[in-house]
Every structure is written in C-alpha cells, then in structure tokens.
Amino acid sequence: MKHPAFIAGLSLALLLCAVPFPAVADEPCCDNAHGYHHSGPLYLGVPVAFDGGEKTPGRYGVLVPMDGSDALFAACSSHGGVWVAGETNPVACNRVTKGDTLAVLGVDPAALGGAGQGLALPVVFSTTAFKLFEPSIAKAVPVDVASVRALDPSLDSAAIETISLPDGSSLLFMAGTRHVPDGNGENDCATTAETVFTREHGILRRAAELPARPTGLVLADKPYLIVPVDCGKRVGIWAVGKKVEQVGYFDNGYEYGG
C-alpha cells in the first residue's frame, strides 16, 4: 500500500502542550506513532515539521519515543550533538520537547541530508559515532550450509545465506522461512521472515527470527541489524551478540514507503 509523500506533523494534544504549532501534515500520521529503546547507543526517529503560522516561523525536529531515550535527551538538553544515519560528525540538537509517549528533538532537517526528505520514514540516530553499511549478503558455502541444515534439516539449502562484516568475516547465517503479511494483513508490503543462526567458538546456534531481510548493518559498540517492515514505516534495531535480539523500534503510525 502506498500513500502520497508528505512531511509528517503532530497534533497539539499529542505532544506540544505548551507550544501551539499546528501540524503541517494533511493526514494525522503521527497520532499513532510508537516505539521504544531498550539498550545500546542507537535510536530511531522520524523527521517532522510544524507550521508556525503567519507571525511565527515554522519549527522542525525529529520525533522519537520517550521510552528508553534518556541518554538521547541528555545529549540534546546539554546542547550537544547526535549522530545521524552514519554521518562522521554530529549534528546540533538544542532542545527536547517531551510528551507522554513521544518527544521532539530540536534537529534542523537540513542537517539530515537525504534522511529527512520525502516520506516520513524512520531514521537511525546515535549518541556516539557509528558506521552504517549495506549488509554484505551472499549464498553460504557448502560446509556452512551443511552445518546449518544439521540444526534444521527442513531448510532449503539454496535459501541459506551468510551476512559478512566489512572485513569479510562471517557475522551470522540466515534463511528465509515463511511469508509475513504487512501490517494491514495484505501482500503489498509483505516480507519473508528470516531464521538467524550465530556461530561462536565454532558452535552454531539458532539465535532469532527476524521479521524481514536486514537492509542495514551498523557497527557501534557491537554489530546491529536494521530491519524494516511495512515498506519502511516500521523499523527495528537488532543487536548481534551471543543472542540476536530486538533492542528498539519505531513505527511512524501511518505512512507506508514504497
């Protein structure tokens, strides 16, 4: 499902109790936005814009979930910077406007580059520098295919793949296992769930099931996978360690990508 591109906005009742800026958006997309952050330096947010009206200038920012974002808020409240989508230098963040479940960071969308343009889809942020890569995914070699199928003989050998780090070393193995309809129960933005296996000290283990194929690999304090569903309207962050577990997500509440 696809909808016209727009700049996302918020209603006064949702968030800006003390700042009467009406939303720019034609649709109440962000009334249903939601997410959380459980651990690690990576966060997800959506660029938003507020119309200041005839006498006051408009304001811009990044919508983020309140849950677990204290370190991110501290960086902004101290007029520090945040890192956006793998940029080598931080961008200025000079205020935080908090609501019950969501907050807006005072980040100029011009500093987001292409990340803040077009559809209001979630963007990766961090309180520290990080590197963002397109995952290197390739067919697993026969010896690794045999090891994975020894754990799960039902897997199709041709479906088993490996995700490699930039230095070429294997990070984990995965295999598409089942069809997952999109959030509307339809196939327009359907995905294929991926069963993930990790190997540590030569021991292979089933680690998790991702709801879709990863589109981003982040190197920060540890590797992370960026996994979008619903054509990008909902994005999850999965930490890779002894386990592969979801540590955060953000859903813009309405707008599907394409």
Q: Give the rounded distance of the alpha carbon of 31 from its chain centre.
A: 19
Give all strands of the β-sheet with 170-180 in edge-to-edge order: 136-139, 160-164, 170-180, 191-200, 203-210
**Torsion angle (degrees, nearest 10) of CA 228, 234, 240, 245:** -130
Based on the number of CB atoms within 10 Å of its own CB, is 250 exposed (0-12), middle (13-18) or buried (19 or more)? buried
Mean pLDDT calculated for residue range 88-100? 84
Q: Give the number of domains in the chain.
A: 2
Asked if 143 and 213 sit in the same domain, the reply is yes
In a domain, 184, yes or no: yes
Asked if 227 and 195 sit in the same domain, the reply is yes
Asked if 243 and 179 sit in the same domain, the reply is yes
pLDDT band at 245 (very low <50, low <70, confident <90, very high): very high
Residue scoring higher pLDDT (232 or 224) = 224
d(CA 205, CA 198): 5
| Domain final residue pick, 103, 130, 157 | 130
d(CA 15, CA 34): 13
Determine the pLDDT at residue 112.
66
38: domain range?
29-130
Q: Give the rounded distance of the alpha carbon of 140 from its chain centre.
A: 26
In a domain, 239, yes or no: yes
Indicate the range of 28-37, 109-118, 194-203, 204-213 predicted with least confidence.
109-118
Asked if 52 and 159 sit in the same domain, the reply is no
- Residues 35-90: pLDDT tens digits? 999 999 999 988 777 654 454 444 678 889 999 999 989 888 776 788 887 577 88
Asked if 58 and 157 sit in the same domain, the reply is no
Determine the pLDDT at residue 32.
80
* Strongest mean pLDDT among 5-14, 112-121, 147-156: 147-156
Q: Tell me if the pTM is above 0.85.
A: no
| Domain final residue pick, 130, 151, 180 | 130
In a domain, 14, yes or no: no
Asked if 120 and 153 sit in the same domain, the reply is no
Residue scoring higher pLDDT (209 or 241) = 209
H-type helices in the chain, by residue range? 70-77, 142-151
Asked if 99 and 156 sit in the same domain, the reply is no
pLDDT band at 109 (very low <50, low <70, confident <90, very high): low
Residue scoring higher pLDDT (254 or 1) = 254
Asked if 124 and 180 sit in the same domain, the reply is no
Asked if 121 and 153 sit in the same domain, the reply is no
Asked if 141 and 239 sit in the same domain, the reply is yes
| Domain final residue pick, 104, 130, 156 | 130
Asked if 175 and 209 sit in the same domain, the reply is yes
Asked if 73 and 97 sit in the same domain, the reply is yes
Please determine, for residue 110, whether its predicted confidence score (pLDDT) is greater than 70. Answer: no
